């Protein structure tokens, strides 16, 4: 069902696309999904009764609203004062080990907003989110959708930000207090961009935005809401580099976000 251009982009991401040859399958052959590697092997049971059919109900998409907090000066800042406040932030201990804060890049009124987890070593050195191999994979993923982080109109140039603006030492997982201290900055960025869709990448970004402890595997494949903005969940590019078999699932998530954009406001 993919076009030749999409197949080429998938190949660039390292996803192999199988094309079913146009021939009829024998009547006695049943097609079924290949079991996941984590699924236990099943042995046929002789004369087993047929299973009772059940109706699977998809989980309800999450609708996240940040907890009530006292309004602060951050809520009134425009881009440059906000950038300066982030650069000089000392709200948590991460300021003591960082080289640079990682504010974000892209069009300030982008239709797409990409939100990742925390800066890594390369991001800390350059002060830009998603650089290095993970950033190259993200660029390929965006290219497959006709999007870019480079200079372009707001419908094509995305805005990329992280839940944390400073790198945790040795790339450890973010602490809840660190995420809470940084959250007002991200909330203000979202309010300024006013994106039409948010693509949340990685466990800590997803759980922070959706206020959920569910794994990504249970949250993806649905359109959630964040302050009235459609939000789609997917894997972090760094994870996909370690688990390339999940690239096809991530591509499905990107296609879902693209469908949200095509449907417009009624998808929210």
Bridge partners, residue 87, by sequence: none
Q: Is 169 within a domain?
A: yes
Mean pLDDT of the chain, nearest integer: 83
Contact predicate 154/196, CB 8 Å? no
- Residue 32 is predicted with a pLDDT of 39
Question: What's the predicted TM-score (pTM) here?
Answer: 0.76
Answer whether 123's CB lies under 8 Å from 227's CB. Answer: no
Q: How far is CA 101 from CA 13, 78, 124, in A?
A: 29, 18, 7
> Does 161 fall in a domain?
yes
Q: Is residue 235 assigned to a domain?
A: yes
In a domain, residue 121? The reply is yes
- Note the pLDDT of residue 73: 87
Q: Which domain holds residue 174?
A: 75-263
Q: Calculate mean pLDDT across residues 203-219.
A: 94
- The average pLDDT across 35-45 equals 42
**Would you state the pLDDT for residue 264?**
76
Lowest mean pLDDT segment, chosen from 13-17, 29-33, 140-144, 237-241: 29-33
Which segment of 68-72, 111-115, 139-143 scores lowest on mean pLDDT?
A: 68-72
Is 41 part of any domain? Answer: no
- Kindly state whether residue 15 falls inside one of the protein's structural domains: no
Which residues, listed in sequence order, are joined to residue 234 by a DSSP beta bridge? 201
pLDDT, tens digit, for every residue of 214-248? 999 999 999 999 999 999 999 999 999 999 999 99
pLDDT of residue 116 exceeding 50, the answer is: yes
Short-list 236, 238, 237, 229, CA closest to 257: 229
> pLDDT value at position 49?
47
Q: Which of 67-76, 154-163, 198-207 has the lowest mean pLDDT?
A: 67-76
Q: Give the model's confidence band at 61: pLDDT under 50 very low, under 70 low, under 90 confident, else very high.
A: low
In a domain, 13, yes or no: no
Alpha carbons 241 and 164: distance in angstroms, whole number: 21
Residue 149's H or E segment, with its range, is none
Tokens of 111: 């239709």
Q: Provide the CATH number for the domain around residue 189.
A: 3.40.470.10
pLDDT of residue 72: 77
More confident residue, 136 or 44: 136
pLDDT value, residue 89: 96
In this prediction, residue 37 carries a pLDDT of 38
Q: What is the mean pLDDT of residues 153-173?
A: 96
In a domain, 243, yes or no: yes
**Number of domains present in the structure of the chain:** 1
The whole-number pLDDT of residue 57 equals 42
pLDDT, position 7: 66
Please give the average per-residue pLDDT across 101-115, as a whole number: 97
How is residue 149 written in tokens?
């982080």
Residue-wise DSSP of 93-104: GGGGT-SS----
């Amino acid at each position: 069902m993919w076009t030749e251009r999409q197949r080429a982009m998938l190949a660039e991401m390292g996803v192999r696309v199988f094309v079913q040859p146009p021939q009829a399958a024998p009547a006695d052959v049943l097609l079924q999904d290949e079991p996941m590697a984590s699924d236990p092997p099943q042995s046929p049971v002789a004369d087993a009764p047929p299973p009772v059919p059940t109706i699977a109900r998809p989980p309800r998409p999450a609708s996240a609203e940040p907890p009530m907090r006292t309004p602060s000066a951050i809520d009134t800042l425009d881009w440059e004062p906000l950038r300066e406040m982030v650069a000089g932030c000392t709200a948590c201990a991460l300021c003591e080990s960082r080289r640079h804060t990682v504010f974000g890049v892209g069009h300030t009124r982008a239709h797409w907003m990409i939100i990742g987890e925390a800066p890594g070593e390369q991001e800390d050195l350059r002060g830009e989110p998603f650089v290095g191999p993970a950033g190259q994979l993200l660029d390929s993923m965006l290219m497959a959708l006709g999007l870019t982080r480079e200079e372009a109109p707001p419908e094509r140039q995305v805005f990329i930000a992280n839940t944390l603006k400073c790198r945790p030492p040795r790339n450890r997982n973010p602490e809840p207090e660190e995420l809470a201290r940084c959250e007002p900055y991200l909330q203000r960025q979202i309010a300024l961009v006013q994106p039409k869709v948010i693509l949340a990448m990685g466990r800590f970004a997803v759980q922070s935005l959706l206020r959920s402890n569910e794994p990504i595997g249970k949250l993806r494949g649905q359109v959630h809401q964040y302050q009235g903005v459609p939000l789609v969940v997917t894997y972090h590019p760094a994870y996909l580099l370690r688990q390339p078999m999940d690239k096809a699932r991530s591509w499905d998530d990107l296609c879902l976000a693209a469908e949200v954009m095509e449907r417009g406001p009624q998808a929210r």
